[in-house]
Amino acid sequence: MQEIKITTILTCYDHINELPQQTQKLMEHAVEARKNAYAPYSNFRVGAALLLANGEVVTGNNQENAAYPSGLCAERVAIFHAGAKYPGVQIKQIAITATSDLHVNKTPIPPCGACRQSIAEYEMRQDEAIEIYFMGGEGKIMKSNSLKDLLPLVFDKTYL
Ligand code: THU
């Protein structure tokens, strides 16, 4: 018998102003995208902004549906849009912000498991790490240097 320890290192920023300038702008794009979320059922708005290697910024927000599972998270709206519009262009960074309409969330809110799995596919496909920054509605921001830090023991094509 053997125990395996998995370590994750995250960086924590106290405020958006502490981010590198380009990343600060990316988070501002995510905040703008969040405002256009279609979230009449959860009242929980999420915005995501991707910085691509060609300098383009692609955004997404959650799109809900009366048949609940038919909706989609902000992160996947954004990465699928990037994959559709800029195939083969690397994703460098993802900025995510999420908050309820009923109260402002002030702790960093990480992407859900399904979004992590989807981001993992893109990271493996481009064979280069994607930096992920996540925030609540405002306040502290957490950063992982790679999706792998958020989803150890990922399921991938090597198992197929
Ligand atoms: N949501 C996202 O957009 N991203 C996540 O990573 C977690 C959840 C959305 C889905 C749904 O519209 C609402 O937030 C509440 O779960």
- pLDDT, averaged across the chain: 98
Ligand 1 centroid to residue 2 C-alpha, Å? 37
Largest CA distance in the chain: 51
CA angle 31, 34, 38 (to 5 degrees): 170
pLDDT per position as a tens digit, 12-35: 999 999 999 999 999 999 999 999
pLDDT digits (tens, 9 = 90+) for 66-117: 999 999 999 999 999 999 999 999 999 999 999 999 999 999 999 999 999 9
Q: Is the CB of 72 under 6 A from ligand 1?
A: no
Q: Where are the domains of the chain?
A: 11-148
Among the listed residues 64, 75, 123, 131, the single catalytic one is: 75
- Domain 11-148 class in CATH: alpha beta
Q: What is the mean pLDDT of residues 127-137?
A: 98
Active-site residue flag, 75: yes
